[in-house]
Amino acid sequence: MNEENNTYEIYYDKEADFLEVFFGEQTKCYAKEIEPGVFIRKDEKTDEIKSVGIFSFEKRGAQILKEILNKINLKLPLNITV
């Protein structure tokens, strides 16, 4: 993600216990499962990460988001609690 691109959108579906964090403007993407229940969406042209989706987010605890973001070298300027 580009440093100047600091727009974030967070979507959480409590019933499905699914969290998705979007980075910047949305574009045509493809999804890749990087570990069980964790997906990243990447721009088809640039391969830039555009979102991270986590199933069983509340069950896993908010720490899972920090772990995934560290794993893919992204940071968010916020704290998330469940």
**pLDDT score of 61 more than 60:** yes
Mean pLDDT across 11-35: 95
Structural domain span for residue 56:
8-71
Q: How many domains does the chain have?
A: 1
Cα radius of gyration rounded to whole Å, the chain? 12
- Does the global pTM surpass 0.85? no
33-47 pLDDT, tens per residue?
999 999 999 999 999
**pLDDT score of 76 more than 80:** no
- The answer to whether residue 3 sits within a structural domain is no
Distance CA 4, CA 1 (A): 9
- The answer to whether residue 1 sits within a structural domain is no
If you average pLDDT over each of 4-13, 28-37, 71-80, which comes out highest? 28-37
Please name every residue paired with 54 in a beta bridge, in sequence order, or none if there are none: 19, 38
pLDDT of residue 14: 95
> Which strands sit side by side in the sheet containing 18-23, from one edge to the other?
8-13, 18-23, 49-55, 38-43, 29-35
What integer best gives the mean pLDDT of the chain?
87
- The answer to whether residue 21 sits within a structural domain is yes
- CA neighbours within 13 Å on the CB side: how many for 3? 0
